[in-house]
A and B are shown apart, each in its own frame.
Chain A
């Protein structure tokens, strides 16, 4: 398969680019932050639903567009450029993917339409530690006569404060992982939110003897690990797409600054020390573009080495974003570390995005293990 976008995918990317430049530029991010860290703009979310972005990845049998993750990845990338805040990642990438790969048809039928039309939103409750480790889950789901009792504490739940329900990853009595859909207003749930460096709100959720129906289980017995792995791969790849957008934007603004800012009577972009650093970043960014597209294509094709591609994408983008966001500030000089310009926003969002769903070290290690060394 050719490693380029087809015409339809290009059109979607262009339309997302135009739409966000008008409706959700970085200034909106600043306004939301300054307005008590609002998680997102309600009007924007409605407009995003109207654009069809929430339906891109769902199959036709649920009236989805069946357009695929390459398409959604273009939207994520454009959102990354603008640091756009919207529950697209939490509700559609995480929540939606959980449902797409679930075999629980009743849940699919009741939730997918509501996710697509934006009337309901899901949040994904996986992390329990300050780092990503899907293998050490302490939250439990114990069987009762007609369902399960959930106990445990989750953190870093993206958009958790405003979701209608959570998808909770918990250990079952069979000592495997299960995924459960839990209404946000169930008895026994207490939720607090934290604001992180990126001005995003993340929920810490405590589940205290929360009871749910047996029919709220998303994963079948013995298939929870696999379902979780699919969601984690999808999350890593879509985050990588968002990070590519951040890289492109921060880098583009930096190159523009090198072209205009003058010191010692010359434009600073004429100094070779800066030229070579900028050129090295250019090369790394070329690599980033390739792995993101390759991994997005693999999601749509169900390629067998998806695990490896997901880890390559998240590792490469994580490391490159770290370097680009640092270099962007350094090359802006004093103004780069002020709140007046946007370049620092990219650095702040970068550090959070780098860590979500596994950082550079995690994915580099996973890549090595997948290759058996």
Chain B
């Protein structure tokens, strides 16, 4: 029994490898430079170039946009073991993800757990087809770390909810088709008990966005305003006033994603870049301090990767990995931030180029700036440490 299973998996690996080699265009196997390199899908989907389109369409046809979701929702129906193999093979070849989608990484898991079958059939196939670009409406001007303090109001008007309020830091709100939103449906209850989880079409009358410019010079996020927006009642996910449970569940997935869990993208090693740009002495980097910083970074990067594997392997034996999403988020983003600092140190003045014909240098400087948001978005590092202390270590309040 076990051996036939093993050979079946071995066959699957070989077939997968061969299929990827034949179908993933060469340019889709190069490292992603920034988020602009991704295909984002949506109603007004645009491809940057032909290869991106080919890659997306082939993966779509293969049902590998979300390979591990049920086929009835347009997923590939792969088992955990098969999906792992696919991820490993994509990593091995350096294949990019065919689409970058909060629908897949954040909303999807929450819908699987909390939505009715009807809602799943309505929203999930659109995600696996790359047809809906979803954004996240959690944070508000006065509800950041203290997310449960949110004030955007949803009034019950009989056949619909009426939404008034505003969200902030909504990534890609100006490009998105739909928003998954936390709204207050009970102002008298304790703050965690009056929140609901609502899906809102961004094309609804009364929704508007205003982009905010980041220190990277780009403006991928927005303020989002709701002015008497009517939302059908069937867009409520889960139970009224119990949205906080869904919100937290979704956050565990968001945090794993930001922390780098399930990443297939291959990054260049810092020491390789350093050896190209800096002087050597006796075959090793002459700058001993920088060399040891690179080694510490390399050490922790590679052990963190092993740790993701270990915790995922443990999860398969029934150990709850959800509680560890704050660890992934905290450690993965702190590592990324220190990596970008080191990159900037290694590349010297090239790593500080803002406007230039040197496109690569420009991109890197902007990524460096963008990385500073990593330890803030999805809940700050301090908030993650607090969750670890309370939920995992059981330290008192």
Determine which of B306, B311, B388, B394 lies in contact with A259 in the assembled complex, contact meaning CB atoms within 8 Å.
B394
- Which residues of B pack against A, CB within 8 Å? 269, 271, 274-275, 283-285, 291-292, 294-296, 298-300, 302-304, 306-307, 309-311, 313-314, 316-317, 324, 327, 330-331, 382, 384-386, 388-390, 392-397
Q: Are B284 and A278 in contact (CB under 8 A)?
A: no
B39 CB to nearest chain A CB (Å): 32
Q: Are B386 and A279 in contact (CB under 8 A)?
A: yes
Q: Are B302 and A278 in contact (CB under 8 A)?
A: no
Determine which of A2, A283, A312, A368 lies in contact with B284 in the assembled complex, contact meaning CB atoms within 8 Å.
A368
B338 CB to nearest chain A CB (Å): 14
- Which residue on chain B has the smallest CB distance to residue A260? B396
A83 CB to nearest chain B CB (Å): 23
Q: Are B395 and A280 in contact (CB under 8 A)?
A: no
Q: Are A270 and B298 in contact (CB under 8 A)?
A: no
Q: Are B395 and A275 in contact (CB under 8 A)?
A: yes
Known A316-B299, A364-B296, A368-B271: A276·B382 in contact at CB below 8 Å: yes
Q: Are A4 and B274 in contact (CB under 8 A)?
A: no
Q: Are B296 and A276 in contact (CB under 8 A)?
A: no
Determine which of A258, A367, A368 lies in contact with B395 in the assembled complex, contact meaning CB atoms within 8 Å.
A258
Sampled A-B contacts (20; CB under 8 Å): A2-B313, A255-B393, A258-B395, A259-B396, A269-B395, A275-B393, A276-B389, A278-B389, A279-B386, A282-B388, A282-B393, A283-B330, A287-B331, A289-B310, A364-B296, A368-B271, A368-B295, A373-B271, A373-B285, A373-B294
Determine which of B291, B302, B311, B396 lies in contact with A312 in the assembled complex, contact meaning CB atoms within 8 Å.
B302
Query: Which A residues are in CB contact (< 8 Å) with B295?
Result: 364-365, 367-368
Residue A293 lies at the interface, judged by CB distance under 8 Å to chain B? yes
Known A364-B295, A367-B295: A316·B303 in contact at CB below 8 Å: yes
Q: Are B292 and A279 in contact (CB under 8 A)?
A: no
- Which residues of A pack against B, CB within 8 Å? 2-4, 255, 258-259, 266-267, 269-270, 272, 274-276, 278-280, 282-283, 286-287, 289-291, 293-294, 312, 315-316, 364-365, 367-369, 371-373
B180 CB to nearest chain A CB (Å): 29
Determine which of B327, B394, B395 lies in contact with A283 in the assembled complex, contact meaning CB atoms within 8 Å.
B327
B303 CB to nearest chain A CB (Å): 5
Overall SS of chain B's interface: helix
Known A259-B394, A278-B393, A291-B306: A371·B271 in contact at CB below 8 Å: yes
Query: Which of A4, A258, A276: most chain B CB closer than 10 A?
Result: A4
Task: Tell me the bound Cα distance from A108 to B271 in angstroms.
Answer: 43
A103 CB to nearest chain B CB (Å): 33
Determine which of B269, B311, B389 lies in contact with A275 in the assembled complex, contact meaning CB atoms within 8 Å.
B389
Task: Tell me the bound Cα distance from A315 to B297 in angstroms.
Answer: 12
Task: Tell me the bound Cα distance from A211 to B300 in angstroms.
Answer: 48
Task: Tell me the bound Cα distance from A213 to B144 in angstroms.
Answer: 76
Q: Are A4 and B306 in contact (CB under 8 A)?
A: no
Task: Tell me the bound Cα distance from A291 to B300 in angstroms.
Answer: 10
B326 CB to nearest chain A CB (Å): 8
Determine which of B269, B299, B309, B395 lies in contact with A278 in the assembled complex, contact meaning CB atoms within 8 Å.
B395
Task: Tell me the bound Cα distance from A164 to B153 in angstroms.
Answer: 80
Query: Which A residues are in CB contact (< 8 Å) with B324?
Result: 286
Query: Which B residues are in CB contact (< 8 Å) with A258?
Result: 393, 395
Q: Are A293 and B275 in contact (CB under 8 A)?
A: no
Determine which of A267, A294, A364, A373 lies in contact with B274 in the assembled complex, contact meaning CB atoms within 8 Å.
A373
Query: Which B residues are in CB contact (< 8 Å) with A371?
Result: 269, 271, 298
Task: Tell me the bound Cα distance from A271 to B388 in angstroms.
Answer: 14
Q: Are B395 and A255 in contact (CB under 8 A)?
A: yes
Query: Which B residues are in CB contact (< 8 Å) with A369?
Result: 284
Q: Are B300 and A287 in contact (CB under 8 A)?
A: yes
Q: Are B306 and A286 in contact (CB under 8 A)?
A: no
Task: Tell me the bound Cα distance from A258 to B397 in angstroms.
Answer: 12
Known A267-B396, A276-B385, A283-B327: A4·B310 in contact at CB below 8 Å: yes
B396 CB to nearest chain A CB (Å): 5
Q: Are B395 and A270 in contact (CB under 8 A)?
A: yes
Known: A291-B303, A368-B295, A372-B275. 16 other contacts (CB 8 A): A4-B313, A255-B394, A259-B395, A275-B389, A279-B330, A282-B393, A286-B324, A289-B307, A290-B307, A312-B299, A364-B295, A367-B299, A368-B291, A371-B269, A373-B271, A373-B284
A279 CB to nearest chain B CB (Å): 4
Q: Are B327 and A3 in contact (CB under 8 A)?
A: no
Q: Are B396 and A283 in contact (CB under 8 A)?
A: no
Task: Tell me the bound Cα distance from A289 to B310 in angstroms.
Answer: 9
Query: Which A residues are in CB contact (< 8 Å) with B284?
Result: 368-369, 373
Task: Tell me the bound Cα distance from A371 to B386 in angstroms.
Answer: 36
- Which residue on chain A has the smallest CB distance to residue B270? A373
Task: Tell me the bound Cα distance from A275 to B317 in angstroms.
Answer: 30
Query: Which A residues are in CB contact (< 8 Å) with B309?
Result: 3, 290
- Which residue on chain A has the smallest CB distance to residue B387? A279
Task: Tell me the bound Cα distance from A80 to B302 in angstroms.
Answer: 25
Determine which of A255, A286, A315 lies in contact with B307 in the assembled complex, contact meaning CB atoms within 8 Å.
A286
Known A270-B397, A316-B303: A279·B385 in contact at CB below 8 Å: yes
Query: Which A residues are in CB contact (< 8 Å) with B311?
Result: 286
Q: Are B327 and A282 in contact (CB under 8 A)?
A: yes
Q: Are A373 and B392 in contact (CB under 8 A)?
A: no
Q: Are A3 and B300 in contact (CB under 8 A)?
A: no
- Which residue on chain B has the smallest CB distance to residue A4? B313
A41 CB to nearest chain B CB (Å): 34
The 9 A-B residue pairs with the shortest CB-CB distance, nearest first, are A275-B389, A279-B388, A269-B395, A3-B310, A279-B385, A373-B271, A290-B306, A290-B307, A368-B295
Query: Which A residues are in CB contact (< 8 Å) with B269?
Result: 371
Query: Which B residues are in CB contact (< 8 Å) with A267?
Result: 396
